Amino acid sequence: MFNKELENKIETLKKFVPVVKKVHGKTHNEFYEVSDAFDKMILKLNNKDFNLDNEFKELRKITSNYKVPSDTCETYYMVYKIFEELDKAYYNE
């Protein structure tokens, strides 16, 4: 299930992580780390490495378990929600 869910949502994240980083990065520096963790995830997946334990652990730490800052937009919320859904799917596979 995780791989199917990942395929369905990874393209959305590829589009919106850079947008959120550009819009909110200056006021939410942690999003630069979120973007870096996502880049590591993509690199691993491109190399057919599906062990993403460290990346999800890092994302949970950076985001305080995907807690969305109150002064951000719906796109920021959507990105965190997708990461959270993928995280849950990954560990429930």
Sign of the Cα torsion 59, 61, 67, 70 reads negative
Query: Do 44 and 53 contact (CB within 8 A), yes or no?
Result: no
pTM, full prediction: 0.90
pLDDT at 6 over 80: no
The amino acid occupying position 46 is: N
The per-residue pLDDT for range 34-69, each reduced to its tens digit, is 999 999 999 999 999 989 999 999 999 999 999 999
Whole-angstrom distance, CA of residue 72 vs CA of residue 46: 30
Domains of the chain, by residue range, sit at 2-91
pLDDT at 24 over 90: yes
